[in-house]
Amino acid sequence: MNLVSTLHKSNSFYLFLCHHYPKNMSKQKKQNTTKYAGSAFAVILAALLSYFPISKQLDEKEVVNEPPKQEITVENNGQQNTDINFQEASQKTEVNHSSTQTSQVEEVINTTELELPAKLKDRSEKILKRSNYTASYNRNWNMPNWVAWEVNRNETRGKNKRNDEFTADTDLPKANQVQSFDYSGSGYDRGHMCPAGDNHFSSQAMDECFYMSNMCPQHHELNTGKWNDLEIACRRWANRYGEVFIVCGPIVNKQKSKKIGKEHDILVPEQFFKVILITSTKPARAIGYIFDNNGSDRPYKTYTVDEVEKITGMDFFHNLPDNIENIVESRYELQDWKWYN
């Protein structure tokens, strides 16, 4: 009901009171009735006039205070912003795709396969899935291209002791089932890629980490020295930060690499690589190492993940959001990765 209509009806009510009282009413009563009707009309009119501007102000406030609609997107303008972290990028990407449930959103927030490198196209590769690691096996080399796993603070301890039962991997063809005795007298250790120390939490995981498909010929001083020290440091980081994503493997020069083996030819790597990613820090961080396969006191150098990718021809941590991957793989802060004496 608008103001004009209300005033019109109120005026009609006033006229009704003034002109339709009984004819035999005394003059004094008529005057009182007219007086009361006029007062009532004045009260109604004042109330309506006072209400109208308040209602208008309320309407205006509601319009002014209505929050503007915003669209949140994840952008990469080529700037290396070290304040970006993994959790924030995942949340932004999820908001950006919230209107449709797509597999891309699931891949962004899925950290269970974050450690897996991209598929290799330039060499033999057979993927071997284990309970605590994944291996890409090269049947021409008779050792892995890479081994990848995630270690968290719950997996750094357990009751299952190292069993030292090196076993042929029956998931491989017979011609590629390297035996423990193939290393005998070679001068090289059966060097773990995924170490026994990361598998104490499960008897199955401990058994699987001793498959020969998880081994590479490794110099004894490297195997028991700095390589082992870095394995211990990864478990320490897992305890501190919650979880660590790791990929490691051999670097082979096909022209120079020698071979060992009694029944199976196994290439001896000149070097080993290891790349490490931590996503729970702010910002996320990653680093790469390359170790010479010898007995030197300082057999390794540090690299960015991008640099290790160029050396190995592999694509690490490709399941990260692109804006995060571009940042963490292009830099490292040595002070964040103190593990050596």
**H helix or E strand, kind and range, residue 243:** strand 243-251
Q: Which residue has the tokens 């941590």?
A: 317
Q: Residue 8 catalytic?
A: no
d(CA 304, CA 282) in angstroms, rounded, equals 18
CA-closest candidate to residue 163, choices 198, 190, 203: 203
List CB contacts of 119: < 8 A, sequence separation 6 or more.
Answer: 125
d(CA 101, CA 85) in angstroms, rounded, equals 23
List CB contacts of 146: < 8 A, sequence separation 6 or more.
Answer: 117, 135, 136, 193, 247, 248, 249, 314
Q: Which residue has the tokens 């309506």?
A: 48
From 20, 97, 192, 318, active-site residue: 192
| Alpha helices (H) in 100-259, listed in sequence order | 103-109, 203-208, 220-224, 226-241
Residues taking part in catalysis:
192
